[in-house]
Structure formats: structure tokens, C-alpha cells
Amino acid sequence: MTQASNTSNQVMWNRLLAVVEQQGQALIRAAFSPIVRECGDISAGIFDVRGRMMAQAVTGTPGHINTMAEAVVELRDRFPIQTMKPGDIYVTNDPWIASGHLNDFLLLMPVFYRDQVIGFTSCTSHLVDLGGQGMGPEGSDIFDEGLRVPPCKLLDEGEVNGLLLDIVKANSREPIANEGDIYALIACCETGAQRLVEMMDEFGISDLEDLSNYIIETSRQGTLAAIAEVPEGIYDYALKVDGYEQEIMLKARLTVERKQVLLDFSGTSGCSQKGINVPLNYATAYSVFALRCIIGPDIPNNAGSLEPFVVSGPEGCILNAQPPAPVAMRHTLGQMTPDLVYGCLCQALPDLVPAEGASCMYDLPMRSAPEVAQRGGRVFALEPAHNGGTGARPGKDGLSATAFPSGVWGSQVEITEAMAPVLITRRELRTDSGGAGQYRGGLGQRIELQSANGEPFDVFLSVERIKNPALGRNGGSPGTAGRIRLQDGPDLPGKGEVRVNAGDTLIFETPGGGGYGDPAQRDQSSVAQDIADGLVSSEAASKDYQQMEGQDDV
């Protein structure tokens, strides 16, 4: 390939990034549900005619983006390209194809240029309610958890499948929000297709083959070069997590070879009877994301940079759940896999890997109690998302109340209160929750909420780090574990259903991240600033950092 063609491809690559970002923003701006509109729980991308991901929107979660990369290939193979027509859009929410649970709808749209399919746009977002037992871990199988849509046409030459839309609405406690979100997904696909065609017109190309090959092969070669810098070897790690019925062991073996990285979950505990099981596509998405954060993090995420990472696990382990296992809260353990992976990777790259964090998203799926509808009260379903602290990083403190690895933005108080009869009376960082270290772990947060209209509502808990806090790295201390309770009552388990009655206050404390490095090596001015900012108490500073009262203006 000539230097001139390389330059042209680089210019088109930069333009493609703008296209996918416009695509993602179209979804966010048109969405009805706060978890999409306010929290960015989405993915959007452009794919070549073979179904290979060329580019993804910056906004989005690894669980959506990396599963989408595999789902498009499968859907591309299911529907013969010669049967596709302009205006067609395909859809599924099958957890083992799309994004791991029923609430995520994935759309695929063929892009036509001069009467030929030249590529695809695709996107995923979270629908707030698909019926069944809802967004909670209580289902005994996938059939308990809501409506499952097999791969099918959502639009046929631009005409919406009205029967499918009616079925989705009839099986939801939030039919209007679901309908609006589906149309937002359609707009996302159409925006990407329109902008892609405009780009092709502008640059005078009739297909994406050369551009796609350039992007994917350049990214693949860059990733292989990054892998070559990691010491070859086999690295094992086990991570104990809270689980539901009992604690669970997640195990991984990371094999680093010259041209690929293999991750195997053999030895991991078997499936739960509750909905915390994880399809392998979702576990793979977060595991590979974690690896790519350390190995070639500056290389774009596409089919080329994903190819050298191979993930496997025995069927029936909790990270490779098989249908009809319940998987509604698959993110609870799926988002713990980065800490599992980092336990392996830190043995090869000890100075690059952060400490453990809160990791799993601390969302609060809630809905009106069933008896409220029976007496004509306000019916709602909502899923506010909240986060704990991230682990401290080599050279930097952890981030407080920040989503890693999900990237889902925390729900805003005002939006939550506007969308449901819920009153949030307190939201603040948890002093002393970040693990001590040369670099301090990020802090968790404390949230207190109650009914705003005197009507009871149910909260579905499925969180981690209640029993097993985030561990520090290289001598750093663990973060503080999460904690959930009603008023001054006993602590509640991290998984299950909680009724919040009139007058009750649910107190929800998210975990802090682990510290990094020996606390004795922390700069004393940083300790003083933490105390001044209310992030660390004087008592904790004296205990953890040998910071004495009166020293350094403390």
C-alpha cells in the first residue's frame, strides 16, 4: 500500500470516528430511559461487509461493545446478504448472542451503497423492563426473567414490525419507555448508515474493503507488538466473590504467547440457581477489555485489536452459563472479571496493574410494589446506576464513585426523583472507604432513599464486595466493603429483594477501591489534603499513614 493511500485511509479513519460518535449520540439524545439517556449504557459501531468491527463510538460499555463485535458476525451469518434490502433492520435480545441478558436489545442494519451491501451499522442499549421477574436475581431460569426475542426483522424495507413492537410493549411495566428506546435504537442505526454513505460520497470510494483492511490489519499488528512486550508465561489467579447461595471462586489461567493471549476459566465455580450467571460472551467482553487497558491501550478497539485475545471456559461454570440458566444480573460477576484478569497480569507486569476496585456496578433496579397497581397507584420501573471507588493505580490515586470497568455514568439525583416517586435524602462520599497505600484507593459513596409518595416499592439487589472487599496491590490496604441496610436495622445481604415501605430509609453504601503500594510511602502533603477534603479522617490517617495530629498542618 502506498504512502498516499495510507494517508487517505488515515484521514477516512478519523472521519469514521466522527461517524460512529454521531451514531452513539443519536441514540443517547433520542432515548427515553435514564439509564441510556443519562448513564450512557449503550454501544454503537460500524462494521464491514464481512461483519468485522471497524470502529466503535467512544461512549458505551465494554459489555455492549465487545459483545456487539461478536453478535454482528453471528447475525451476518444467519441472514443471507442477498436477501437484505435497503431499510431492513434486524434485532435480538438473546443473551447468548447479544449482551448477556434480556434487557439489552441489539440492532443490525445493512448499509447499501449503489444498490450493494457495503457494511453494517449496529447498536445496543438497555431497555428498562422486559416483564418477568424484572431486573433482579430471583429468576430460576431465563423464562422467569422476561421476554426473549430471537433474531428477526424489526424493520422490513423501512416498515416497523408492529406486531413485535406490540409484544414488547405488552410484556413491560414501562411500555412507553421501551417503545421510545427501540425507536432511538433505530435512529442510531439509520444515523450511522446515512453518515457512512455521505463519507463514501465525499471521499469517492465505492466500498469499504481497503479502508477496513487498513484499519483492522494496522490495529492487529499494533496489538501483536504490544503483546510481544509482555513476558511469555502462564499466570494463575483465583478471586473469591460473595455469590448468592454461597461464596464463589472465580479462577483464571492467563497464557501469554508471542502472538496471542489465552484466558481460561477452568476451575471456576459452577452456576448458581439464581440470576447471577454469566454467558461467556459477556465474561469475554469484560476480560478482554481489562487486558486491552494494559496491553496496547492506545490501539483502537476493533476486530483487529480484539483478534489476538482468546477466552474460554468449561460449559456450566458460572462464567460460561448455558441456556436456560437465569442471567438477568450477569453484570454482577461479569464486571468482576477484570480484577480476576489483573490478578494474573500483575505477575507479568507488576508495575502496570492497578489494585482491585468496587468493580461491579452498584445499580438499584426498583419498581412499584405489585399491590400499588391493584389500588390504582403509580406504577413504575427504574434502574438507577451507582458506583464505588476504583483501585489505586501505579502513580495515581483511585477514582471515587467512578464506574470501572463498566463506564456507566452514575445516575443523577434529580433525574431519579423526576422519573419515580423516590426521594434521595443523602448522597455523599464515604470517608475512609478508600484503601490506604502510597496511592489511595477511590472512595465509595453513601446514598439514602425513601418513598416520596407513601407507597411501597421493591428494590432488587445484586452487588458484590459486601463480604470480600477490594484488595490492595503491592502492599496497599483493602478498600472498605459495601453495606446495605434499612434505617438502623441489620445489614442486608448483597443479593435479594428488599421492600421499602412508607417511612423506611434504605441506606446504600458502595465499596472503596484498594490501595497501591506501602502506605508508609505516601506523601504526607497528600495525606494532609485528604484530611482537609474529608476523604480520610484524622484517626484513620494516624493509624494507616502514621500521620500524627499537628504534623504537616493536620
- Tell me whether residue 320 is in a domain: no
DSSP three-state, residue 113: strand
Query: What is the reported pTM?
Result: 0.95
- Tell me whether residue 347 is in a domain: no
26-35, 128-137, 183-192, 505-514: which range is least confident on average? 128-137
Which grid coordinates are listed for 184?
A: 432511538
Sheet of 422-429: strand order equals: 422-429, 445-451, 506-509, 483-486
Q: 176-193 pLDDT, tens per residue?
A: 999 999 999 999 999 999
Angstrom distance (rounded) from CA 235 to CA 243: 24
Q: 445-454 pLDDT, tens per residue?
A: 999 999 999 9
Could you tell me if 139 and 75 are in contact, meaning their C-beta atoms sit under 8 angstroms apart? no
Phi/psi class of residue 401: alpha, beta or left (left: φ > 0; alpha: ψ in -120 to 50)? left
Secondary structure (H, E, C), 139-195: CCCHHHCCCCCCCEEEEECCEECHHHHHHHHHCCCCHHHHHHHHHHHHHHHHHHHHH
pLDDT, mean of residues 396-420: 95
What DSSP element (H or E) covers 457?
Answer: strand 457-462
pLDDT, mean of residues 204-209: 96
Burial 183-219 (b: 16+ CB within 10 A, else e): ebbbbbbbbbbbbbbebbeeeebebbeebbebbbebb
Which residues constitute the domain of residue 392?
A: 354-522
Residue 547 has pLDDT above 80, yes or no: no
- Tell me whether residue 401 is in a domain: yes
- How much is the pLDDT for 548? 44
Domain boundary among 200, 221, 242: 221
- How much is the pLDDT for 2? 57
Work out how many domains the chain is built from and give that number: 2
- Tell me whether residue 174 is in a domain: yes
Of 404, 401, 422, nearest to 413 by C-alpha is: 422
Mean model confidence pLDDT for the chain: 95
Q: 41-84 pLDDT, tens per residue?
A: 999 999 999 999 999 999 899 999 999 999 999 999 999 999 99
- Tell me whether residue 543 is in a domain: no
Angstrom distance (rounded) from CA 69 to CA 220: 15
Q: 503-545 pLDDT, tens per residue?
A: 999 999 999 999 999 999 999 999 999 999 999 999 999 999 9
Which grid coordinates are listed for 157?
A: 424495507
- Tell me whether residue 314 is in a domain: no
Instruction: Tally Cβ neighbours within 10 Å of residue 156.
Output: 12
Domain boundary among 173, 204, 221: 221
Domain boundary among 221, 248, 271: 221
Residue 221 has pLDDT above 50, yes or no: yes
- How much is the pLDDT for 554? 37
7-16, 156-165, 331-340, 437-446: which range is least confident on average? 7-16
Which grid coordinates are listed for 292?
A: 486491552
- How much is the pLDDT for 7? 85
- Tell me whether residue 329 is in a domain: no
